[in-house]
Structure 1
Amino acid sequence: MSLPAVRFFHRGRVVAVEGASPTRSVLNWLREDARCTGSKEGCNEGDCGACTVVVAELAEHADAVGTTSARATVVGGLSLRTVNSCIQFLPTLHGKALLTVEDLQAIAQGMAVADPGVGTLHPVQQALVDCHGSQCGFCTPGFAMSLAACYERHCEAGSQPTRAELADELSGNLCRCTGYRPILDAGERMFTLPPKRLDTAPIVAALRSLQGQQPGDATAEPAAGFHTPRTLAALAALVESRPQARLLAGSTDIGLWVNKQFRALGEIVYLGDVDELKRIEWQGDTLRIGAGAPLEDAWRALVGVAPALAEVWRRFASLPVRNAGTMGGNVANGSPIGDSAPVLLALDAALLLRRGAQQRRLPLADFYVDYMKNRLAPGEFIEAIELPRPAASTQVRAYKLSKRFDCDISAVCAGLALTLDGETVVQARFAFGGMAAIVKRAAAAEAAVVGQPWTEATVQAAMAALATDYAPLTDMRASAGYRLRASQNLLMRLWLETRPVAPLPTSQTNVWAAA
């Protein structure tokens, strides 16, 4: 059974888009077909946030995360996530709801249809007006939608974000003229205004009606050549029978192939409707992260294992990108500057791979072969990422070096794990991204410390050995010399923070923590 149209909730009703191209962006549909021009096209690659929208799903489908809580805003049976509409393909909205800046005033007036005319503003809108949070206004709709999602989450929790937390919420929104101070002022002020909350009941009812139209264990095709399996078994069978098909998860990378490289993707298999792939749970002493779990949820789980990973979590792209992208996709992509792989290698991750009904486990350290090449067989895909619980004596750190703090690609990213027995190193896993054609462990640097006392002399030996592990390149982000020297210095920073005698607190090794 297949559906004849992409069906989703928008502006108070279910819309049906016939004949949708598999790679038509949500933003282009909004602006050109729906004539909702509030959302803007800035970068067209998910960096600037001018196109930010909120996608809502029934909570039981969006948040299949086992024992790990999700970051998505869950309110009234809905899960709300901000995403960049410029890189999301329209068929991925099938069975969901799309909320845009045009909906805010309707929410303020308690209306289901987003065409209220002149009247009461939403607290987000009113706060932006009161605090002069807009000059040219081009970026403002994206800021408003990020703030609206933040508003719903904190109102639901009965909390209020700090100014620093607001800055993290807006990490995916770029303003070129207003400046962030008045926008952050607006983020604080919106909680002081009379509350206006999203009425979720009509959206939930509409999505449940759409759910009733969808096949249970089959593959729906809301667009030609766009398959949306709904169970893991259906996905496995589909991928095995169509090994040439393109697997699509969050579209945070593939969306750029279309927008920037104008590539034809061919047949697409969308993973976003397979709830089993979104699960994050402990199985004994193993943390299992489904390959389809959003990056935001996956990083939250990793920080639960190693709290020192919190900064890299915040700095991994932006919240809208982490809401859409998946850790499985980031690993499968295999970019040498991907920030997940160094951390996962330091945590001794393994991949659960699947082809049809067959499964196999492969250490992540053995997964990458060469630049953008891996050991996936035809018809095989990543089902989950598995990590052992670190020993109590294991110290884990991750450091990211980039030109911007927020939403930037790494020049170097390091994932470092060190296990001590007293003052002796019994195990070390040092992994670096940005240093070679693939993310890989620094075998020589590890060998230089294992079995040795954890002293400054030992770390100096590891720093020297690191030069034999990598031959970094020079590109627009950093020179080869900078990459090598900076990576060596990160090993020294690890020692300063973990040395047996008088380890330095983060406030003395990190300017942001000190601030």
Structure 2
Amino acid sequence: MSEPVRFVCSGQVVTVGRDVPHTMTVLDYLRRQLRRTGTKEGCAEGDCGACTVVIGELSDGGGLRYRAVNACILFVHQLDGKALFTVEDLAEGEKLHPVQQAMVDAHGSQCGFCTPGFVMSLFAYFHQHAAPDDDSLKDALAGNLCRCTGYRPILEAGRRMFELAQDDRFSRAEAALAAQLAGLKRSRMLRHSTAAGEFIAPGSIAELAEVLAGRPQGETWILAGGTDVGLWVTKQRRSPRSIVYLGRVAELQRIADHGDRIEIGAGVTYKDAFAAIQALHPEFARMLRRLGSEQIRNSGTLGGNVANGSPIGDSMPAMIALGATVQLRSRSGSRSLALEDFYLGYRKTALQAGEFVESVTVMKPKTDSRFAVYKLSKRFDQDISAVLGAFHVILDGGQVAGARIGFGGMAAVPARARKTEAALLGRRLAEAEIAPAVAALAEDFQPLSDMRASSTYRLLAAQNLLRKFCAEVNEGRRIGVEAAQ
């Protein structure tokens, strides 16, 4: 039996019928079905931010949580049970919203193509902060590209909107919207069938395991945030027979504290997952800031990044360095693997038929441990790593008693530098003593040359990152706070 997808837009419940393909993006639905053309398409891959919309959903405390996301790589079926805000919602007749008025006052628009996306990113920021600060404001707008105005007046608008108002009509109507969303909650699994295929959203981990059992892997896509899967549709023009969505599986949205470690469900977003890890390992802060835009971090998941297995994924080398394990689940049971053993080859993982990533576990730091992660890329914001190095050592009397080093961009998979680790054991981190470990990196990796970096550059850069880490630890400086660029 096919059930309709329902979400709230402009205070009304919108019903998505069977005529809407299971791979239709929110951007296409807005422009083609609802005729809301304020939301623009610039790149169709989640990079430019012109398509930014805001999602409202119930928080654990019963209030409303606002998230800026990219409509171009979000499927409309993922909106089920949520509220959607677009640029058309903001003004009341001729009266502009404080965000819009601030953009006018600060002269923050020229051609106007990117402006709706900026406005919606600022709208989300307005609802997430009591007052602006430059760092968080710049982070919130890093996923929105402007090609003619320049960012100074847009940043000024972000500051000015708080001078114009401290709340808005959406804040005052939150209780009513929360009640409306509560009425859309489902008590059973969502199955939405169309002529093109089927969208399935299990409500529990048991239902998820049952749905995936026996299904052909090539015909069924597992969907978490869509930051990769969305591009398979918009850029590669692929369409699966079935999409199985993880967003309603409560067990996958949890972060659990187990004393000496934390367990992060595969459905937890980058933003929430790394906030939890950053609380234990503050050096994660810079990597989080550079892992995609605010929109991507609000949608993409740690579990999805791990399962995708890209050799240049930013989270995996850091997780490997921290000794992370991955929990796999299927109808027949569960098993645990060290994260570095999960990757078997380029884009090839240890996942078996019917199996999925359930969670990732990260150990808490020890008092004698030192950890840092460095990313090298051509741009600071929103750029894929040429090399990412993560370093974790345990010291005993100033000597290395344990070492774990993870690299991305150096091999076909995220990988440990095992020979380098061995060469560090028993040594102090002075320049003269680490020379064998620096040389051992050439035995651990023979990187490829591609559009991002040459093999020679990658190896030399990796060696210099090791030197940088050792120097910072040896000199007693705060490590990891100044990310390499």
1:286 partnered with 2:285: no
Structure 1 position 202, deviation (Å): 3.2
Are the aligned partners of 1:219 and 1:234 in contact in 2 as well (CA < 8 Å)? no
Partner of 1:205: 179
Partner of 1:23: 23
CA distance in 2, matches of 1:2, 1:322: 31
Question: Of 418, 443, 462, which residue of structure 1 is paired with 2:418?
Answer: 443
Are the aligned partners of 2:374 and 2:483 in contact in 1 as well (CA < 8 Å)? no
Are the aligned partners of 1:233 and 1:357 in contact in 2 as well (CA < 8 Å)? no
Partner of 1:13: 12
Match of 2:212, SS?
A: helix
Partner of 1:225: 198
1:263 partnered with 2:249: no
Partner of 1:112: none
CA distance in 2, matches of 1:511, 1:242: 44
Distance 1:279 1:510, change over 3 A: closer
Distance 1:505 1:276, change over 3 A: closer
Are the aligned partners of 2:373 and 2:483 in contact in 1 as well (CA < 8 Å)? no
Structure 1 position 509, deviation (Å): 6.0
CA distance in 1, matches of 2:267, 2:441: 34
Q: How does 1:189-200 map to 2 (within 5 A)?
A: 189-197=160-168, 198=170, 199-200=173-174
Structure 1 position 265, deviation (Å): 2.0
Partner of 2:211: 238
1:86 partnered with 2:68: no
- In the TM superposition, what whole-angstrom CA distance separates every residue of 1:200-236 from its partner, at most 9, and x where no partner exists? 233223212222xx333x3433654111001111111
State percent identity of aligned pairs.
51
CA distance in 2, matches of 1:168, 1:508: 16
Distance 1:510 1:30, change over 3 A: closer
1:187 partnered with 2:158: yes
Equivalent AA in structure 2 for residue 200 of structure 1: E
Match of 1:303, SS?
A: helix
- In the TM superposition, what whole-angstrom CA distance separates every residue of 1:238-276 from its partner, at most 9, and x where no partner exists? 112425221001000010011111112221100011121
Equivalent AA in structure 2 for residue 21 of structure 1: P
Distance 1:506 1:186, change over 3 A: farther
Equivalent AA in structure 1 for residue 10 of structure 2: R
Q: How does 1:77-476 map to 2 (within 5 A)?
A: 77-106=63-92, 117-118=93-94, 120-155=95-130, 160-197=131-168, 198=170, 199-211=173-185, 214-216=186-188, 218-221=189-192, 224-244=197-217, 245-476=220-451
Structure 1 position 342, deviation (Å): 0.4
CA distance in 1, matches of 2:319, 2:398: 25
CA distance in 2, matches of 1:296, 1:51: 20
CA distance in 2, matches of 1:470, 1:507: 23
CA distance in 2, matches of 1:265, 1:340: 27
Are the aligned partners of 2:327 and 2:360 in contact in 1 as well (CA < 8 Å)? yes
Distance 1:335 1:165, change over 3 A: same
CA distance in 1, matches of 2:55, 2:240: 24
CA distance in 1, matches of 2:433, 2:268: 39
Are the aligned partners of 1:493 and 1:509 in contact in 2 as well (CA < 8 Å)? no
CA distance in 1, matches of 2:208, 2:124: 31
Structure 1 position 511, deviation (Å): 7.8
Root-mean-square deviation (CA, aligned residues, Å) is 1.7
Distance 1:434 1:315, change over 3 A: same
Are the aligned partners of 1:432 and 1:442 in contact in 2 as well (CA < 8 Å)? yes
After alignment, is 242-251 or 329-338 more displaced? 242-251
Are the aligned partners of 2:389 and 2:405 in contact in 1 as well (CA < 8 Å)? yes
Report the TM-score, using the length of structure 2 for normalisation. 0.95
Report the TM-score, using the length of structure 1 for normalisation. 0.90
CA distance in 2, matches of 1:222, 1:301: 37
CA distance in 2, matches of 1:165, 1:220: 39
Give unpaired runs (5+ residues) of structure 2: none
CA distance in 2, matches of 1:170, 1:236: 38
Match of 1:383, SS?
A: strand
CA distance in 2, matches of 1:151, 1:348: 38
Structure 1 position 57, deviation (Å): 1.4
CA distance in 2, matches of 1:379, 1:354: 8
Partner of 1:38: 38
Structure 1 position 497, deviation (Å): 1.1
CA distance in 2, matches of 1:464, 1:507: 23
CA distance in 1, matches of 2:237, 2:482: 44
CA distance in 2, matches of 1:249, 1:420: 39
Distance 1:451 1:511, change over 3 A: closer
CA distance in 2, matches of 1:506, 1:375: 34
Equivalent AA in structure 1 for residue 471 of structure 2: L
Distance 1:392 1:122, change over 3 A: same
Equivalent AA in structure 1 for residue 83 of structure 2: A
CA distance in 1, matches of 2:201, 2:228: 19
Equivalent AA in structure 2 for residue 185 of structure 1: E
Structure 1 position 161, deviation (Å): 2.6
CA distance in 2, matches of 1:43, 1:470: 35
- In the TM superposition, what whole-angstrom CA distance separates every residue of 1:410-466 from its partner, at most 9, and x where no partner exists? 111111101101211001111100011001000111111012222212322211110
CA distance in 2, matches of 1:415, 1:222: 44
Equivalent AA in structure 2 for residue 25 of structure 1: T
